[in-house]
Amino acid sequence: MHANYFAFEHADVYQLAVEVNRAVAGISWPTGRSHMKDQAVRAADSMAINIAEGWERKRGTRASKNHFSIAKGSAGEVFAVLHILDLDPEARGKLQRIGSMLNRLTR
């Protein structure tokens, strides 16, 4: 059994971000849109990583809120790419939930 050593591993927002990250990596991207794939993959990575870092910092501090804010921007970036290319409505729904959770964490 895997022991959880980091608090963020239990956070719904992090778990959703990882799900979206894996979904984005597995999408069959349209021909001629490799630049959009690269953008979405990098943003999905940034989203999950910044949620993890923000969660591990003392919550409510300027530093943690900054990481959550960066993660929210990255989530918006992934959403926009998927929306523009009309890809993966399920991932877009999860990104909207992530955005809502991150709104609360940046207050």
Is 60 exceeded by the pLDDT of residue 93?
yes
In a domain, 40, yes or no: yes
In a domain, 2, yes or no: no
In a domain, 25, yes or no: no
The parent domain of residue 46 ranges over 34-105
In a domain, 65, yes or no: yes
In a domain, 60, yes or no: yes
Count of domains forming the chain = 1
Is 70 exceeded by the pLDDT of residue 11?
yes
Tell me the per-residue pLDDT of 16-58, one tens digit each, with 9 for 90 and over. Answer: 999 999 999 999 999 999 999 999 999 999 999 999 999 999 8
What percent of the residues of the chain are helix, what percent strand, and what percent coil, each to the nearest 5?
75, 0, 25
In a domain, 5, yes or no: no
In a domain, 71, yes or no: yes
pTM: 0.92
Confidence of residue 62 (pLDDT cuts 50, 70, 90): very high
